[in-house]
C-alpha cells in the first residue's frame, strides 16, 4: 500500500517537452529553456530533470568501439525525501518535476538509476551531461560498479554544481573493471535558508564499448526444463513439489505488482495449501493492523462480527477473492479448537486517512462495549477513538482494561496486547519526529516478530502476503535504495527458517490507482534482460523455479500503487529463494470495485458520522 498520503504538500507538475528535444541542438534555445525554467514557480523549491532519450531502446553507435546506451528504468528517489518527488517517465516521455517543501526546510534529495552491462577490466564508461543550478550547496554524481555477485568493484564521484549562472558541461570517465551493474546516484542539497533553490540536469550521454551493452539472454541458464516445477490453478497439491514449502517456519509470498488477478489467485491458493498441509496458524498481510482487527474477529468465529468487517478493505488493492479467502478461513476455524484456529492480521502502519483509522478502531471496539454505553468511561473511550485515537489507545485504553475485566465484557486480551504493542511501535517513531514511512519496513518487521511470538507455538508456521519489495530477503544491491526490507531483517533473524517466493508475470493488465480512481493498466513487455523475459523462455505458462543458480543482475517489473510499468535491478539469488512465473494476468476487481473512489470517500465520512451518532444513542438503522 502506497503511503504518499503521509506527505503534507507534494506538488508535481509534468511538462511535456519531447518536441523541444528536436531543437536542443540549438544553443540559444537550450540556454533559453534552462533559464526560463529556473524562473518558474518562484514560490516553490524544485528540481527540473530533463533526461532525453532513455526510452529503453539502444542508440546507434557513434563509432565501432562505443555507443550511447539508455536507461531501462526511470529515476527513483529514496525514501525519506518527501520534499521532492522525481516523476521521470521511463517510456521516453520527457517530464519535468516541481519539488516543493515546507517553509524553513532546505532542499535535499537523492535520486537513483542504473543499467546492466557486461564490461571487462579493460573497458571504461564515459558520462557527459549539462547542469544549471541556483542556490545549491551540494550537487554530486556518484557512479558505482558492481560485479556479477553484487560486490562493489569501483566507485567515483564528481562535483556537478555549476560555478556560474550558465549551464555547464560535465564529463566523467571511470574504469569498469568486471562490471555487471552500474548504479548512478545524484545527491543534491540546497543552501541553508534559501527558498529559491533549483537544479537542472539535461543532455545525459552514457558511452560504453559496444560489446558491453547487454542485449541477449544467457540461454544456458534457461536450457534445462528440469529446473522448473509446473503448477496448475486446478491442482494445489502440485505445491508439495516446491522445496521446503511445507516445512519452513516463515514463508513470504511477494507479488512484484499489486492489482494482478492471476498473481493474487496463486498466492491465495498457496496460503490455503499452507493452512491445510503446513500447520500454518498465522496469516500476515500487507494491510494496516487496524483494518485487520474486525476481520480477525470474524475468522475466529466471534458472532459479534459479520461480513460487514470486509468494508475496511474498500481502498485496498486486493481482489474481492481475498474476502472469499477470509470466509474459507472462518469455515476452517469452525472445525478447530481455540488453540488450533488460524489468525489473520495486518502488519502495516496505520492508514493516513483520519476517518478510516478511527472508523476501523471503532468498528472493532464497539461490538465489545455496545452493551455498556451507560458506562461514562467506556462511552468517552469510544468517542476518543474517533476524534483522538492516539489518546484513546495510548492513555485511556490501558486504564479501561485494568478497571473493566469482569466476565460480562468479553474481549481477547491477546488481541488487545497486539494492538497496544503495534500502536506503540509507530507512535514512538512519530514522537521522535522521524517520518513513519521511512521506518515502515522496520515497523512491519517489529510487528511480525511480536505477532509470531504472541500467537504461534514453536511448532506453528507463518505465511506472509505482501509486495515483493517488502518480502525480499536482501535488497542491498537493488536499484531501489530504500531502508532494509522487512524480509531482509527477518532473514537475518530467522536465517534458513525464512523463505521468500516472488510472483512475477510477463504481460497482461492490472489495476492501479489514478487521480480519476481505479483504472486498468496494460503491462508493457519487460526488457530482454529481465527475469520475466528469462522465465518466458521456458515456454510454460505457470511454474516454480529456484533462484539458486541466478547470481547475475537482472531487471524485474516493479509495480506500485500507481504504476506497474517500471523496472528494478536485482540479484535474484540474493533477492528471493524462488520464483512463481505466470505468463499473463488480468486485472483484479477489488472490494466493491463498482463504487468510485470519491463515493467510497463519502461513504467513509458518512460512516464516521454514524459512529458518532451510535455513541450518542441515536438510531442509525444498524
Percent of the chain clearing pLDDT 70 (strictly above): 77
Three cell numbers written together for 271: 496460503
The whole-number average pLDDT for the span 451-475 is 95
Residue 358 phi/psi, 5° resolution?
Answer: -65, -40
The pLDDT of residue 481 is 59
Please check whether residue 3 is in contact with residue 349, taking contact to mean a CB–CB distance below 8 angstroms. yes
The pLDDT of residue 217 is 63
pLDDT bin (cut points 50, 70, 90) of residue 592 is confident
Over residues 196-225, the pLDDT tens digits come to 777 777 777 888 887 777 766 666 666 678
Distance between CA atoms of residues 84 and 46, nearest Å: 7
Q: Report the first-to-last Cα separation within the chain, whole angstroms.
A: 30
pLDDT for residue 41 is more than 50: no
| Strands (E) located in 191-279 | 198-209, 228-230, 250-255
Mean pLDDT taken over the chain? 79
* DSSP calls for 312-335: GGTTSSSBTHHHHHHHHHHHHHTT
Q: Could you tell me the pTM of the whole model?
A: 0.84
Q: Which residues contact 560 (CB under 8 A, 6 or more apart)?
A: 2, 258, 566
Q: Which residues contact 163 (CB under 8 A, 6 or more apart)?
A: none
Please check whether residue 68 is in contact with residue 93, taking contact to mean a CB–CB distance below 8 angstroms. no
Over residues 285-323, the pLDDT tens digits come to 999 999 999 999 999 999 999 988 888 888 888 888 999
Please check whether residue 477 is in contact with residue 574, taking contact to mean a CB–CB distance below 8 angstroms. yes
Q: Determine the angle formed by the axes of helices 289-299 and 321-333, rounding to 10 degrees.
A: 40
330 vs 107: which has the higher pLDDT:
330
Distance between CA atoms of residues 359 and 357, nearest Å: 5
Domain covering 4-212, topology? Jelly Rolls (2.60.120)
Question: For residue 503, what are the CA distances in angstroms to 226, 253, 533?
Answer: 20, 7, 14
Q: Which CATH architecture has domain 241-261+465-586?
A: 3-Layer(aba) Sandwich (3.40)
Over residues 333-371, the pLDDT tens digits come to 999 999 999 999 999 988 766 688 889 999 999 998 888
pLDDT for residue 33 is more than 70: no
225 vs 457: which has the higher pLDDT:
457
Distance between CA atoms of residues 553 and 185, nearest Å: 18
Most confident of 191-195, 277-281, 407-411, 521-525: 277-281
The whole-number average pLDDT for the span 233-256 is 96
Query: Where exactly are the structural domains of the chain?
Result: 4-212, 241-261+465-586, 280-459+592-622
Q: Determine the angle formed by the axes of helices 597-615 and 354-369, rounding to 10 degrees.
A: 40
Q: Fold identical between 4-212 and 241-261+465-586?
A: no
Radius of gyration of the chain (CA): 26
Task: Give the pairing of strands 250-255 and 461-467.
Answer: parallel
Please check whether residue 473 is in contact with residue 577, taking contact to mean a CB–CB distance below 8 angstroms. yes
pLDDT for residue 476 is more than 90: no
Residue with cell 532513455: 54
pLDDT for residue 12 is more than 60: no
The pLDDT of residue 68 is 63
The pLDDT of residue 294 is 93
Three cell numbers written together for 301: 468465529
| Sign of the alpha-carbon dihedral angle for 79, 510, 286, 311 | positive
pLDDT for residue 54 is more than 50: no
Nearest to 253 by CA among 284, 288, 276: 284
Over residues 56-103, the pLDDT tens digits come to 333 333 344 455 667 787 777 665 444 444 434 333 322 333 333 333
Amino acid at each position: 500500500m502506497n503511503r504518499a498520503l503521509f506527505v503534507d504538500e507534494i506538488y508535481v507538475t509534468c511538462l511535456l517537452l519531447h518536441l523541444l528535444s528536436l531543437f536542443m541542438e540549438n544553443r540559444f534555445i537550450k540556454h533559453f529553456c534552462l533559464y526560463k525554467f529556473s524562473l518558474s514557480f518562484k514560490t516553490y523549491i524544485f528540481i527540473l530533470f530533463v533526461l532525453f532519450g532513455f526510452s529503453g531502446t539502444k542508440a546507434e553507435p557513434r563509432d565501432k568501439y562505443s555507443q550511447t546506451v539508455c536507461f531501462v528504468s526511470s529515476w527513483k528517489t529514496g525514501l525519506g525525501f518527501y520534499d521532492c518527488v522525481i516523476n521521470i517517465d521511463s517510456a521516453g516521455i520527457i517530464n519535468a518535476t516541481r519539488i516543493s517543501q515546507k517553509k524553513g526546510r532546505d532542499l535535499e534529495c537523492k535520486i537513483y538509476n542504473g543499467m546492466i552491462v557486461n564490461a571487462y577490466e579493460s573497458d571504461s564508461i564515459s558520462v557527459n551531461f549539462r547542469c544549471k543550478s541556483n542556490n545549491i550547496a551540494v550537487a554530486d554524481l556518484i557512479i558505482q560498479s558492481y560485479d556479477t555477485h553484487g560486490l562493489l568493484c569501483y566507485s567515483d564521484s564528481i562535483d556537478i554544481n555549476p560555478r556560474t549562472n550558465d549551464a555547464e558541461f560535465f564529463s566523467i570517465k571511470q574504469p569498469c573493471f568486471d562490471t555487471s551493474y552500474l548504479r548512478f546516484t545524484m545527491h543534491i542539497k540546497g543552501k541553508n535558508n534559501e527558498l529559491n533553490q533549483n537544479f537542472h540536469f539535461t543532455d545525459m550521454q552514457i558511452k560504453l564499448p559496444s560489446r558491453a551493452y547487454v542485449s541477449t539472454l544467457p540461454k544456458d541458464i534457461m536450457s534445462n526444463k528440469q529446473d522448473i516445477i509446473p503448477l496448475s490453478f486446478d491442482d494445489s497439491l502440485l505445491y508439495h513439489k516446491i522445496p521446503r514449502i511445507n516445512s519452513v517456519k516463515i514463508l513470504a509470498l511477494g507479488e512484484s505488482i499489486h492489482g494482478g488477478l492471476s498473481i493474487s489467485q496463486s498466492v491465495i491458493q498457496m496460503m490455503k495449501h499452507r493452512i491445510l498441509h503446513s500447520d500454518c496458524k498465522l496469516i500476515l498481510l500487507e494491510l494496516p493492523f487496524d483494518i485487520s482487527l474486525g476481520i480477525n474477529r470474524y475468522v475466529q468465529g466471534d458472532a459479534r462480527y459479520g461480513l460487514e468487517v470486509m468494508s475496511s478493505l474498500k481502498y485496498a488493492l486486493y481482489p474481492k477473492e481475498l474476502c472469499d479467502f477470509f470466509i474459507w478461513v472462518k469455515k476452517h476455524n469452525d472445525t478447530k479448537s481455540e488453540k488450533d484456529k488460524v489468525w489473520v492480521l495486518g502488519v502495516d502502519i496505520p492508514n493516513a486517512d483520519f476517518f478510516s483509522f478511527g472508523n476501523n478502531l471503532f468498528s472493532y471496539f464497539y461490538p465489545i462495549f455496545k452493551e455498556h454505553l451507560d458506562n461514562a468511561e467506556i462511552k468517552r473511550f469510544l468517542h476518543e477513538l474517533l476524534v483522538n485515537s492516539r489518546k484513546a489507545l495510548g492513555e485511556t485504553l490501558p486504564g479501561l482494561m485494568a478497571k473493566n475485566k469482569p466476565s460480562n465484557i468479553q474481549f481477547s486480551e491477546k488481541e488487545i496486547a497486539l494492538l497496544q504493542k503495534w500502536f506503540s511501535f509507530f507512535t514512538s517513531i512519530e514522537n521522535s519526529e522521524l517520518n513513519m514511512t521511512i521506518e515502515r519496513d522496520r515497523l512491519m518487521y517489529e510487528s511480525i516478530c511480536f505477532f509470531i511470538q504472541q500467537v504461534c507455538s514453536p511448532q506453528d508456521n507463518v505465511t506472509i502476503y505482501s509486495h515483493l519489495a517488502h518480502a525480499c530477503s536482501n535488497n542491498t544491491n537493488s536499484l531501489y535504495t530504500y531502508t532494509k526490507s522487512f524480509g531482509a531483517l527477518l532473514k537475518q533473524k530467522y536465517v534458513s527458517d525464512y523463505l521468500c517466493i516472488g510472483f512475477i508475470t510477463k504481460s497482461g493488465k492490472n489495476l492501479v490507482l489514478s487521480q480519476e480512481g481505479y483504472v486498468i493498466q496494460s503491462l508493457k513487455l519487460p526488457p530482454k534482460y529481465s527475469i520475466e523475459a528469462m522465465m518466458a523462455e521456458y515456454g510454460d505458462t505457470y511454474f516454480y523455479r529456484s533462484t539458486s543458480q541466478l547470481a547475475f543482475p537482472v531487471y524485474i517489473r516493479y509495480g506500485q500503487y500507481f504504476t506497474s510499468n517500471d523496472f528494478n535491478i536485482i540479484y535474484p539469488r540474493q533477492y528471493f529463494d524462488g520464483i512463481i512465473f505466470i505468463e499473463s494476468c488480468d486485472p483484479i476487481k477489488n472490494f466493491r470495485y463498482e463504487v468510485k473512489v470519491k463515493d467510497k470517500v463519502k461513504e467513509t465520512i458518512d460512516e464516521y458520522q454514524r459512529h458518532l451518532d451510535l455513541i450518542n444513542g441515536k438510531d442509525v438503522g444498524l
